[in-house]
A and B are shown apart, each in its own frame.
Chain A
């Protein structure tokens, strides 16, 4: 029972990190039609900026998380305004450009912070563990799980229940019609891209509590985010949440039960979903 419960909780908290990484990328990809492969690199930048604020400067962890989010958001916004703006609906060009940004941002991080790993960091008051029956469970993971659900609910509300969400969804289906109604779609696009990139940077700091920070993490998390989006479905917050939790749980239980297959379990899950539901579990039909 302890084995099951501890892995269940580990899987959910890891899944929440995956959700945070994938959520912004999924919105940008599904709703705005932009394939931003530099999303993982924004996560990395956020993690490094957060490390600087929390560890180097010794400031509050949550301030560091917001600083990481702002750093990710601003770089994302710059990418969108200067480059991606010119490449709407040109997927190949978007892929090449944003993949190039992965290397550029990784090298900038190496210049600034060096090549070495940065240890996990968190707020001092959530370091430690709580007793759950016969085993202890890290408090950080409980906080990450709660935070993940709050952000998922907020994003779902923003996308489905607010005027901005409605404009974004309508605007991407029929750009001319929305502009004809006198709405400045440009501003909305900027705002959505900033929010998506902010979440990536913010996720970098939240994720650094478990996964630490290093130069190659941008590509590592990109791969996982793509798997989550494929499984959950593109453009849907519920899909990213479901995909993140499923992949987190499959990865955790896979490692615990079949360590020899640890590298393959999440890809097996992806293949099964692609075979039976190519648009993802909660994605739009294709």
Chain B
């Protein structure tokens, strides 16, 4: 009996150690899954944009079959709820529980400032979604695309003075770091060209009624607005025009705020308003053609910069992962990303050593084509916009 038990135990040991080898699982360990986190806003004032970012990320991953350098990719999406607190909480969940090394988003500039030191400590690479904050550069953990908020709007301030001929401006912007940064860039460019800013108004996040601000606006050649996203922007334009104001308006991130859905509702109200944009779906290049077709197929509508930025950022991460052979650690990925040069739907992109993208800036306007309200092809292009503070 004792002998029988010994043989049984030996057989069991053999089964445990030998069988997996013959089963094919022991000799080749399973490829490590690369986890990419995404902090997107599905609730709050910019809830419109979350699904658009997600569509862009998914399209890029679908193009490679959710696999890079032989590693499967898992996308983990969380709702950052247009809130710094929610963004930090969800970021911690992604890092502590899901063990991510790469994170796309969140959108809001305030959240960038809160997350940058945490990400530097965790050695996690985070990307902005629509421009980023210069103050995060020192942590060398943020991939800022298309560029910093103020560098994005600086050339547009110059354009407004020099090309549109407006000599004075009122600036109205949402009162948080990101939109204040956009306003600062515009003001710097406008003033350096010789323009006068007659008034700056900053409105609380989620302002329901802009009428008190509209009623106090001083007289100027143009009003530049930089508000939270498609909803507040549409609400402001509607209330501004409804109060009988017919003067010219200009704006920033027009491609992100003037979504096809927003334009369809605004109709004639937004026509002719010019704005700075990092992308328009009417750009003529092969990468954009493929991308627009892909998004149309996926969502049934033409893309805005939200889909494009998320798509391109994902493509950037995939290209860098290809270079590192699927190693998603900070030390390998930072150098791989900042040395990249790529053609994207928005035009060529490269990076400074600080992780800030160098891209084109376009000027677009809302226009009516047939019965549709659309964003125009570029009216003006500033090539290779680079933050003026970087060498």
Q: How far is the CA of A22 from the CA of B239 in the complex (A)?
A: 24
Query: By the criterion CB–CB under 8 Å, are B212 and A256 in contact?
Result: yes
Question: Hey, which chain B residues are within 8 Å of A254, CB to CB?
Answer: 212
Contact yes or no, A128 B44, CB < 8 A: no
Question: Quick check: A116 and B244 within 8 Å, CB to CB?
Answer: no
Task: Report if A116-B230 is in contact (Cβ < 8 Å); known contacts: A129-B242, A136-B243, A216-B43.
Answer: yes
- Cβ-defined contact, A215 with B47, below 8 A: yes
Which chain B residue lies CB-closest to A4?
Answer: B215
Looking at the complex, which of A117-125, A163-171, A236-244, A271-279 is the stretch in contact with chain B? A117-125
Are B209's CB and A14's CB within 8 A?
A: yes
B361 to chain A, nearest CB (A): 26
One of A6, A119, A137, A260 near B266 (C-beta < 8 A)? A119
Encode contact with B along A107-151: 1 for CB under 8 Å, 0 otherwise.
000100011111110000001110100011110110000000000
| A117 CA to B265 CA, complexed, in Å | 10
Taking the closest CB of chain B, its distance from the CB of A114, in whole angstroms, is 8
Residues of the B chain whose Cβ atoms lie less than 8 Å from the Cβ of A3: 215-216
A-contacting residues, B206-250, CB 8 Å = 206-209, 211-213, 215-216, 230-232, 234-235, 238-239, 242-244
Q: Do A129 and B243 form a contact, CB below 8 Å, given A220-B208, A255-B212, A256-B213?
A: yes
**With A and B bound together, what is the CA distance between A16 and B51 in angstroms?**
35
The answer to whether B213 and A259 have CB atoms under 8 Å apart is yes
Identify which of A7, A110, A216 contacts B215 (C-beta below 8 A).
A7
Cβ–Cβ < 8 Å partners of A255 in chain B: 203, 212-213
**A136 and B50 within 8 A (CB):** no
Contact indicator B242/A252 (Cβ below 8 Å): no
Cβ contacts under 8 Å, A136 to chain B: 243-244
Report which of B44, B47, B50, B244 forms a contact with A129, defined as CB distance below 8 A.
Answer: B244
Q: Is A211 an interface residue (CB 8 A)?
A: yes
Q: How far is the CB of A149 from chain B (nearest CB, A)?
A: 19
Please determine whether A115 and B51 come into contact, CB atoms closer than 8 angstroms: yes
Out of B44, B215, B262, name the residue touching A6 (CB < 8 Å).
B215
Q: Is the CB of B208 within 8 A of A115?
A: no
Cβ of B70 < 8 Å from any Cβ of A? no
Contact A215 B209 (CB under 8 A): no
Residues of B contacting A220 in the complex (Cβ-Cβ under 8 angstroms): 206, 208
CB distance from A224 to the nearest CB of B (A): 8
Q: Is the CB of A259 within 8 A of B201?
A: yes
Specify which chain B residues have a CB less than 8 angstroms from the CB of A120 in the assembled complex.
Answer: 235, 238-239
Q: Once the chains are docked, how many angstroms separate the CA of A242 from the CA of B101?
A: 55
How far apart sit A114 and B262, CA to CA, in the bound complex (Å)?
13
Q: Does residue B42 face the partner (Cβ distance < 8 Å to A)?
A: yes
Contact B43 A215 (CB under 8 A): yes
Task: Give Cα A14 to B203, complex, Å.
Answer: 17
Are A138 and B243 within 8 A (Cβ)?
Answer: yes
Question: A10, A138, A212: which contacts B231 (Cβ < 8 A)?
Answer: A212
When distances are taken between beta carbons in the complex, the residues of chain B under 8 Å from A119 are 234-235, 238, 262, 265-266
Note all chain B residues with C-beta closer than 8 A to A140: 242
Interface: A214 (CB within 8 A) = yes
Which among B45, B211, B243 has the greatest number of chain A C-beta atoms within 10 A? Answer: B211
Nearest-neighbour CB distance to chain B for A218, whole angstroms, equals 11
Chain B 48-75, CB-CB to A under 8 Å as 1, else 0, gives: 1011000000000000000000000000
A125 CB to closest chain B CB (Å) equals 14
B331 → A minimal CB distance (Å): 38
Instruction: Answer whether residue A253 sits at the interface, using C-beta atoms and an 8 A cutoff.
Output: yes
Pairwise interchain contact B235-A259, C-beta atoms closer than 8 A: no
Q: Does A190 contact B (CB under 8 A)?
A: no
A262 CB–B CB distance under 8 Å: yes
Residues from chain B with a CB closer than 8 A to the CB of A216 are: 43-45, 47, 206
Residue B26 CB within 8 A of the other chain? no
The minimal Cβ–Cβ distance linking B50 to chain A, given in whole angstroms, is 7
Residues of B within 8 A of A118 (CB): 265
Q: Which partner residue on chain A sits nearest B215 by CB separation?
A: A6
The residues of A that contact B231 with a CB separation of less than 8 Å are 116-117, 212, 214
User: In the complex, how many angstroms separate the beta carbon of B171 from the nearest chain A beta carbon?
Assistant: 13
Known: A7-B215, A215-B47, A263-B204. A137 touches B243 (CB 8 A): yes
Task: Decide yes or no whether A172 CB sits under 8 A from chain B.
Answer: no
* Cross-chain contact B235 with A212 (CB below 8 angstroms): yes
- Interface positions of A from 1 to 21, Cβ below 8 Å from B: 3, 6-7, 10-11, 14
Extra contacts, 9 of them, besides A7-B212, A252-B209 (Cβ < 8 A), are A117-B262, A120-B239, A137-B243, A211-B208, A254-B212, A255-B212, A256-B216, A259-B202, A263-B204
| A-B pairs, 5 with minimum CB distance | A136-B244, A117-B231, A116-B48, A255-B212, A115-B47
13 contacts between A and B (CB under 8 A): A115-B50, A117-B230, A138-B243, A141-B211, A210-B211, A211-B209, A212-B235, A212-B238, A215-B43, A253-B212, A254-B212, A262-B203, A262-B204
